[in-house]
Amino acid sequence: MDIQLNCPVPLRHDTIQMAHGGGGRMMRELLESVLLPAFRSEALDTRHDAAVLALEGSRLAFTTDTYVVRPRFFPGGDIGELAVYGTVNDLAMAGARPLYLSVGMVLEEGYPIEELRRVAASMKAAADRCGVSIVTGDTKVVDRGKGDGLYINTAGIGAVPAGLSVGPRHVRPGDAVLVSGDVGRHGVAVMSVREGIAFTTPVESDCGPLHGLVGALLGGGVVPSCLRDATRGGLAAVLNEIATDAAVGVEVHEADIPVIAGVEGACELLGLDPYYVACEGRMVAFVPGDAAERALAVLHATPGGEGASRIGTVTEKGPGTVILRTRLGTRRILDLLSGEQLPRIC
């Protein structure tokens, strides 16, 4: 479950709009007013990327995501890698060690089998890199014009260390807000292909696994309050979700949020705000203030975390609100967008 928020909100549409899938306010409305009330369960109420469940004395994390990214191949990755890393990352965000994946494919009549081979090989390589096994699967075929080549669902199971609990309800004023690297790459990489734009500095997706960073933090004695990967809706969506769910304020500093020049340039060209552009290999970590230094040191020393940065602090002011301090010293609210900037980004 990617977005989870508290207050029920009315739906303004009778039919599904593209923006209902975009990670913004309209997606929240759909979940809050239709799906969460219908499915109501204790685990869904915890509002996290993965459910943490009891199974005969063990604790397991369980999550699912469907991948509909367009195009299926983009600089730095493809739909297969995304489907493995995305679900591995949702498990990692619950503090879990990822173990097992299921794969459900919807194939459109006419889809090239050679491409299916490439995607499957890519999934296997990604799974091997994460130390997870693909253990069960399903394929369905739909008529030409009723799909878009290939949609992939993955569900994942991980083991949660005894006693560990990570989630919005543990976030406290004074917590430091870290990101594990520069933001906005995935969205820009996808858009560059989709819009046929060649940048002088090509931007590659950050598509990759985060469980190593989480393992390093836990191994280094840092117990994060909350972890979340910044996918649909980007950094801004994650900060808003946590601010709302934890009923805290979040203040971040523009000057401390890493954005590479290629992403910045592309965003200017495309009229996008990089804070709202999806990442696929970046997490936001909320850690107790006195553990911030150690957490940063651990991340910097771990592959994939070299570019980690402390970007802000959790406050008591304005629960549910994210404030951005600009380079000019002004303050502005970093709000949740209504719809999406980028459809079908993952």
Cβ pair 99, 159 in contact under 8 A: yes
Cβ pair 154, 79 in contact under 8 A: no
Shortest Å distance, C-beta 20 to a copy of itself: 5
Q: What six digits make up the tokens of 202? A: 């090509």
In this structure, the strands spanning 58-67 and 73-74 are unpaired
Cβ pair 315, 253 in contact under 8 A: no
Shortest Å distance, C-beta 216 to a copy of itself: 22
Shortest Å distance, C-beta 69 to a copy of itself: 10
C-alpha 201/C-alpha 34 separation (Å) is 43
| C-beta of 70 vs 172, nearer to a copy of itself | 70
Tell me the CB-side half-sphere exposure of residue 19, using CA atoms within 13 A.
14
Shortest Å distance, C-beta 167 to a copy of itself: 13
Q: Which residues are CB-contacts of 16 (< 8 A; sequence separation ≥ 6)?
A: 30
Shortest Å distance, C-beta 64 to a copy of itself: 4
Q: Which residues are CB-contacts of 158 (< 8 A; sequence separation ≥ 6)?
A: 50, 60, 61, 91, 92, 94, 96, 97, 98, 99
Shortest Å distance, C-beta 74 to a copy of itself: 17
Cβ pair 135, 101 in contact under 8 A: yes
| C-beta of 181 vs 234, nearer to a copy of itself | 234
The amino acid present at 184, given as its one-letter code, is G
- Helix 261-270, helix 185-194: angle, nearest 10: 50
Phi, psi of 104 (to 5 degrees): -120, 120
Shortest Å distance, C-beta 42 to a copy of itself: 7
C-alpha 185/C-alpha 240 separation (Å) is 20
